[in-house]
Amino acid sequence: MIRDSQKTNQTALSHLDSDGDITMVDVSGKTPTTREACAFGQVVFPADIYQQIKAADGMTKKGSITQTAHIAGIMAAKRTHDLIPLCHPLPLDKIGLTFEYDDRQNSITVTATVKVTHKTGVEMEALTAVSVACLTIYDMTKAISHDIIINNIHLMNKTGGKSDYQHA
């Protein structure tokens, strides 16, 4: 429960009711529409480690880092409601992940696109997919180095629902 002194300007948040109490958003009155969200993340390596990973085409003793991260990202998107307390469970129509080597930044970029026809959006599912895929890449490569940085995780765009969004 939020104290009265903490309620100022917080009722505009979708997961707080007019009394400032936590609530799951009621989507029962909404019309299902097609909604899509795309999120981005980056795993940055020391230059020598990045070159080693790229030269091996992402293969480690544990297997392919991108194939494993791909599966992990899909599984994570499907389980977002189990991880984020107020997310609705959604029957996802599409989950796509891409992985690209970026020689300029010694990184692997991860992009996740999630699509659903429902009453609520899939931003959290896209962000969860990217986050877990990046964490999986870290897990697959930490035996080589712990000097790995996961950064720049953000929503790129979303369509459907009340409004569309495009990251500037």
- Catalytic positions: 139
CB atoms inside a 10 Å sphere around CB 41: 25
Structure tokens at 72: 């992990």
